[in-house]
């Protein structure tokens, strides 16, 4: 060994010893302060604080990790707070063993434990040059415990920034909100490109397509299942698990020894944490999730909150984030920023769940994955999407959250240098967001109320079934008049262009209504961002346009003439799937357009992705896409959000992709399934073996079965 290396080790050892001594001194001073300021706690001799500080250090550093191996469930269910109860018991035991120390109650010992954990966290952070040094000290310690892997192909970290559109990413790189990605691009090591989403530009359809290679029959984040008379929600664990079973063939992007962190679906990964589909209570034996080693919540979550310092830090930063949200909301109100939505109620308390807690746990798990040398990892950072929904796509507080995510990406990039294998980092998004004043604010009624009114439902019935409306200003008189306009020219235009024989109706009643949002007798509306799906549960199967015109004659004419509606998708008995707009009709089966093409303003792939959506078994009877205004770059979402997504129109339909320049150019990417093939191809090029799916029984709608189903995309449309 060289003298330089030996000297370096001595210096590192000296710094570590100095840090230990300084932390011990700070802890002793903290105990002295608690002795003076905390009722029910007293130390009467000079030697008691340093001895207690030393014993507390031994408890936290040596005994506590062993205790938490047994008591992890307590930390899990309480976000780490339950750990302080156990720590309080340990503190009480230490103080009882030291002669002369007075602790009058268990609550006092818990308060001491909480205070000392906070002091330890602050001291450790203060002794680092910056927060990154603390991060990498911990990373080096973990790496030192790891073992070198056998020669193996480079690993890949796929890091998803949820909801960040391509153009927003470009501007964020330029303006300093993504400094890590900007440094990669300026150095020439990485390339920034974009990809076109499916019609359903939301996380459920995107991520199941990216991770499992198929998003067939995922028409929205939520949709109505007519056969079962219930609303399917991707954010519900059992629904997410059912969707994954239908689309997984065991050969997902993360199959083998991959890891899924903070996602909706597992991608057939072995290592899973904070992943929605893995949280369902009932798991079929045919699922890869049942395989030994699958942990629905994940050791990363357990390990993170088992450390009291982590719990104190995360809880403290969460309170800071709540303050940031309250300040940002107040600034918007004072400046009368438009568009905006109410940001009170429980939202300020819920926001840290995505901007702080989920982020910290995911990063901790990713660090474990990198240092363990796992071949492929996919993680989702949710914070930007959540804040952009309530604040705006490029408002200051949304960009602040984006910058914090970029900081974590930079840390992971540097931590990868400590890994037992080489890693490439790929950053991407599942969709973008399009900003605009909400449909309810702009037109004085929600889309559910509009459809209910046009279908004959009473106002009281609609409000009781669709829930509370968002707070809003009174709409202008011309807007209310435009929203109410319906018949006349448009009705005649529709009948003239899309006429046909109306088949006989069947009217078998559906099941019990449950939580199904019925807005009028026999009418259900389910909203998913910029898309609203209208179904008629009393009529089995896909209800033809001709039947809709006969039974609900005001509905289609009023919708296509509404200034907040861009286009409608319906199915004609004579012409097949047709797209209706204010000034024209697009017949998807033949590509024939009569009048002005209603899809003209929604991108070159609009006809293909809408035609594909029309083939889905759970495609609604009428699908409404909000109107996009290219002059203002705005659309009015059907949900109470400022930035929103879920359909076509504007930035929501363009995700971004940053990949190493050495990777094969992906070309134009249309749809999440094609993006899956690109990512899978990169893994293959790096030397990762193709997954076999051995031992996994595909679901009835698996990709293998879907590949045999003809798709209209790129053919007749």
Q: Whole-angstrom Cα distance, residue 383 to residue 182?
A: 20
CB atoms under 10 Å from CB of 101, counted, come to 20
Q: What pLDDT, on a 0 to 100 scale, did the predictor assign at position 82?
A: 53
Order across the sheet with 271-273: list the strands.
190-196, 654-660, 423-428, 155-161, 376-381, 259-261, 271-273
In the block, tokens 């310092």 appear at: 309
**Residue 428: is its pLDDT beyond 60?**
yes
Q: What pLDDT, on a 0 to 100 scale, did the predictor assign at position 394?
A: 96
Distances (CA, A) of 62 to 55, 114, 115: 10, 18, 19
**Residue 1 or 76, more confident:** 76
User: Is 311 inside any structural domain?
Assistant: no
Q: Are 492 and 537 in contact (CB under 8 A)?
A: no
CB atoms under 10 Å from CB of 201, counted, come to 35
| Alpha-helical runs (H) found in 38-105 | 48-58, 64-77, 81-97
Range 655-681 average pLDDT: 97
The closest of 392, 396, 387 to 339, measured between CA atoms, is 392
Domain count for the chain: 3
Q: Give the range among 183-197, 494-508, 649-663 with minimum mean pLDDT.
A: 494-508
Q: Whole-angstrom Cα distance, residue 438 to residue 11?
A: 60
Helix (H, G, I), strand (E, B) or coil at 634: strand
Helix (H, G, I), strand (E, B) or coil at 447: helix
Strands (E), 283-353: none
Range 273-278 average pLDDT: 89
Q: Whole-angstrom Cα distance, residue 322 to residue 338?
A: 22
**Residue 428 or 48, more confident:** 428
Look at residues 82, 110, 127 and tell me which one is the last residue of a structural domain.
Answer: 127
User: Is 347 inside any structural domain?
Assistant: no
Same domain, 428 and 457: no
CB atoms under 10 Å from CB of 604, counted, come to 11
Same domain, 361 and 212: yes
DSSP string, 131-166: HHHHHHHHHHHHHHHS-PPPS-PPEEEEEEETT-BH
**Residue 422: is its pLDDT beyond 90?**
yes
Q: What is the pLDDT of residues 472-499, one digit of tens each?
A: 333 333 222 222 233 333 333 333 433 3
pLDDT mean across residues, the chain: 80
Look at residues 609, 641, 673 and tell me which one is the last residue of a structural domain.
Answer: 641
**Residue 554: is its pLDDT beyond 80?**
yes
Q: How confident is the model at residue 297 (pLDDT cuts 50, 70, 90)?
A: very low
Q: What pLDDT, on a 0 to 100 scale, did the predictor assign at position 489?
A: 34
Helix (H, G, I), strand (E, B) or coil at 259: strand
Q: How confident is the model at residue 436 (pLDDT cuts 50, 70, 90)?
A: very high
**Residue 384: is its pLDDT beyond 50?**
yes
Q: Within 13 Å and on the Cβ side, how many CA atoms surround 462?
A: 21
Q: What pLDDT, on a 0 to 100 scale, did the predictor assign at position 130?
A: 40
**Length, in residues, of the chain:** 717
Tokens for 523, please give them: 């009418």
Same domain, 380 and 237: yes
**Residue 98 or 378, more confident:** 378
Q: Whole-angstrom Cα distance, residue 352 to residue 595?
A: 49
Q: What pLDDT, on a 0 to 100 scale, did the predictor assign at position 178?
A: 97
Beta-bridge partners for 635: 628
Q: Whole-angstrom Cα distance, residue 268 to residue 106?
A: 46
Q: Are 452 and 355 in contact (CB under 8 A)?
A: no
Same domain, 430 and 519: no
Q: How confident is the model at residue 148 (pLDDT cuts 50, 70, 90)?
A: low
CB atoms under 10 Å from CB of 342, counted, come to 13
∠412-160-262 over CA atoms, to 5°? Answer: 85
CATH at residue 374 = 3.40.720.10
In the block, tokens 């029959």 appear at: 217
Q: What is the pLDDT of residues 637-663, one digit of tens each?
A: 999 999 999 999 999 999 999 999 999
Q: How confident is the model at residue 685 (pLDDT cuts 50, 70, 90)?
A: very high
Look at residues 613, 641, 669 and tell me which one is the last residue of a structural domain.
Answer: 641
Helix (H, G, I), strand (E, B) or coil at 102: strand
Contacts of 312 (CB under 8 A, 6+ apart): 114, 117, 118, 121
Same domain, 519 and 578: yes
User: Is 259 inside any structural domain?
Assistant: yes
Q: What pLDDT, on a 0 to 100 scale, did the predictor assign at position 50?
A: 87
Look up the pTM and report it: 0.78
Contacts of 545 (CB under 8 A, 6+ apart): 498, 500, 556, 570, 571, 572, 573, 578
Same domain, 470 and 599: yes
Range 292-310 average pLDDT: 57
Q: What pLDDT, on a 0 to 100 scale, did the predictor assign at position 87?
A: 60
**Residue 502: is its pLDDT beyond 60?**
no
User: Is 204 inside any structural domain?
Assistant: yes
Tokens for 332, please give them: 């918007």
Q: Whole-angstrom Cα distance, residue 531 to residue 565?
A: 10
How large is the C-alpha radius of gyration of the chain? 29
Q: Give the range among 35-39, 42-46, 298-302 with minimum mean pLDDT.
A: 298-302
Range 544-556 average pLDDT: 95
Tokens for 461, please give them: 């019935």
User: Is 615 inside any structural domain?
Assistant: yes
Q: What pLDDT, on a 0 to 100 scale, did the predictor assign at position 609?
A: 97
Q: What is the pLDDT of residues 166-180, one digit of tens each?
A: 999 999 999 999 999
In the block, tokens 């018991």 appear at: 89
Q: What pLDDT, on a 0 to 100 scale, did the predictor assign at position 310?
A: 72
User: Is 145 inside any structural domain?
Assistant: no
**Residue 325 or 14, more confident:** 325
Contacts of 486 (CB under 8 A, 6+ apart): 454, 554, 557, 558, 561
User: Is 406 inside any structural domain?
Assistant: yes
Give the domain range for residue 89: 14-127
Same domain, 413 and 444: no
Q: Are 387 and 397 in contact (CB under 8 A)?
A: yes
**Residue 168 or 300, more confident:** 168
Same domain, 95 and 68: yes
Q: Whole-angstrom Cα distance, residue 420 to residue 31?
A: 42
Same domain, 452 and 597: yes
Q: Whole-angstrom Cα distance, residue 20 to residue 22?
A: 5
Q: What pLDDT, on a 0 to 100 scale, did the predictor assign at position 94?
A: 75
Tokens for 385, please give them: 């999407």
Distance spanning both ends of the chain, measured CA to CA: 69
Range 279-297 average pLDDT: 45
**Residue 284: is its pLDDT beyond 80?**
no
Percent of the chain exceeding pLDDT 90 equals 55
**Residue 259 or 418, more confident:** 259
Same domain, 54 and 196: no
**Residue 552: is its pLDDT beyond 60?**
yes
Helix (H, G, I), strand (E, B) or coil at 333: helix
Same domain, 490 and 411: no
Q: What pLDDT, on a 0 to 100 scale, did the predictor assign at position 71?
A: 52
Q: What is the pLDDT of residues 16-43, one digit of tens each?
A: 567 667 777 887 888 888 888 788 888 8
Same domain, 684 and 629: no
Range 402-423 average pLDDT: 92
Q: Within 13 Å and on the Cβ side, how many CA atoms surround 259?
A: 31
Percent of the chain exceeding pLDDT 70 equals 72
CB atoms under 10 Å from CB of 454, counted, come to 23
Range 144-164 average pLDDT: 82
In the block, tokens 């249309």 appear at: 670
User: Is 661 inside any structural domain?
Assistant: yes
Q: What is the pLDDT of residues 203-261, one digit of tens each?
A: 999 999 999 999 999 999 999 999 999 999 999 999 999 999 999 999 999 998 999 99
Q: What pLDDT, on a 0 to 100 scale, did the predictor assign at position 299?
A: 54
Q: How confident is the model at residue 319 (pLDDT cuts 50, 70, 90)?
A: confident
Range 659-668 average pLDDT: 97
**Residue 270 or 56, more confident:** 270
């Amino acid at each position: 060994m060289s003298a330089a290396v030996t000297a370096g080790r001595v210096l590192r050892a000296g710094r570590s010893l100095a840090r230990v001594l300084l932390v011990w001194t700070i802890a002793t001073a903290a105990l002295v302060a608690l002795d003076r300021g905390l009722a029910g706690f007293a130390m009467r001799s000079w030697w008691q604080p340093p001895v207690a500080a030393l014993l507390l250090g031994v408890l936290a550093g040596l005994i506590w990790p062993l205790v938490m191996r047994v008591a992890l469930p307590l930390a899990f269910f309480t976000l780490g707070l339950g750990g302080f109860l156990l720590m309080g018991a340990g503190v009480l035991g230490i103080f009882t063993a030291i002669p002369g120390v007075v602790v009058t109650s268990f609550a006092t010992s818990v308060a001491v434990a909480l205070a000392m954990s906070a002091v330890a966290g602050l001291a450790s952070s203060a002794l680092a040059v910056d927060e990154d040094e603390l991060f990498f000290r911990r990373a080096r310690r973990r790496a030192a415990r790891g073992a070198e892997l056998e020669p193996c192909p480079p690993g890949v970290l796929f890091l998803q920034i949820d909801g960040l559109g391509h153009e927003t990413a470009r501007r964020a790189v330029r303006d300093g909100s993504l400094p890590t990605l900007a440094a990669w691009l300026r150095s020439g090591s990485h390339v920034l490109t974009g990809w076109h989403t499916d019609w359903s530009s939301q996380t459920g359809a995107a991520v199941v397509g990216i991770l499992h290679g198929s998003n067939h029959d995922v028409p929205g984040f939520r949709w109505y299942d007519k056969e079962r008379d219930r609303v399917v929600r991707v954010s519900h664990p059992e629904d997410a698990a059912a969707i994954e079973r239908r689309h997984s063939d065991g050969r997902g992007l993360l199959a083998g020894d991959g890891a899924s962190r903070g996602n909706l679906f597992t991608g057939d990964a072995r290592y899973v944490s904070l992943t929605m589909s893995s949280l369902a209570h009932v798991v079929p034996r045919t699922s890869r999730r049942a395989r030994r080693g699958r942990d629905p919540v994940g050791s990363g979550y357990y390990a993170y909150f088992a450390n009291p310092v982590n719990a104190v830090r995360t809880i403290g930063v969460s309170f800071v984030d709540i303050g940031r949200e309250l300040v940002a909301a107040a600034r918007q109100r004072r400046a009368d920023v438009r568009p905006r939505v109410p940001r009170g109620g429980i939202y300020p308390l819920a926001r840290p769940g995505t901007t702080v807690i989920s982020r910290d746990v995911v990063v901790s798990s990713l660090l474990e994955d990198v240092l363990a040398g796992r071949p492929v990892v996919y993680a989702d950072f949710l914070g930007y999407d959540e804040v952009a929904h309530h604040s705006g796509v490029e408002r200051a507080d949304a960009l602040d959250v984006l910058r914090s995510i970029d900081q974590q990406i930079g840390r992971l990039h540097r931590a990868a240098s400590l890994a037992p294998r080489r890693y490439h980092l790929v950053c991407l998004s599942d969709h973008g967001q399009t900003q605009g004043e909400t449909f309810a604010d702009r037109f004085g009624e929600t889309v559910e109320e509009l459809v209910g009114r046009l279908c004959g439902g009473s106002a009281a019935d609609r409000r009781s079934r669709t829930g509370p409306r968002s707070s809003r200003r009174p709409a202008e008189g011309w807007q209310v008049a435009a929203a109410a306009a319906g018949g006349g020219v448009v009705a005649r235009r529709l009948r003239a262009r899309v006429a046909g024989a109306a088949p006989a109706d069947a009217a078998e009643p559906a099941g019990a209504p449950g939580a199904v949002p019925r807005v009028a007798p026999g009418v259900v509306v389910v909203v998913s961002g910029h898309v609203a799906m209208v179904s008629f549960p009393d009529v089995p199967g896909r209800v033809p346009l001709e039947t809709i015109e006969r039974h609900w004659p005001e509905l289609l004419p009023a919708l296509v003439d509404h200034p907040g509606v861009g286009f409608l998708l319906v199915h004609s008995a004579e012409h097949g799937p047709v797209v209706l707009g204010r000034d024209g009709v697009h017949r998807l089966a033949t590509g024939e357009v009569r009048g002005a093409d209603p899809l003209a303003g929604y991108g070159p792939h609009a006809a293909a992705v809408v035609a594909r959506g029309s083939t889905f078994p759970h495609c609604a009877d009428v699908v409404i896409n909000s109107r996009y205004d290219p002059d203002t770059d705005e659309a009015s979402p059907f949900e109470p959000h400022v930035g929103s997504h879920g359909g076509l129109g504007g930035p929501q339909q363009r995700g971004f992709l940053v990949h190493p320049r050495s990777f094969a150019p992906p070309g134009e990417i249309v749809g999440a399934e094609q993006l899956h093939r690109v990512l899978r191809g990169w893994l293959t090029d790096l030397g990762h073996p193709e997954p076999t799916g051995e031992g996994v029984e595909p679901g009835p709608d698996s990709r293998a079965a879907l590949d045999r189903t003809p798709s209209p995309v790129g053919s007749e449309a």
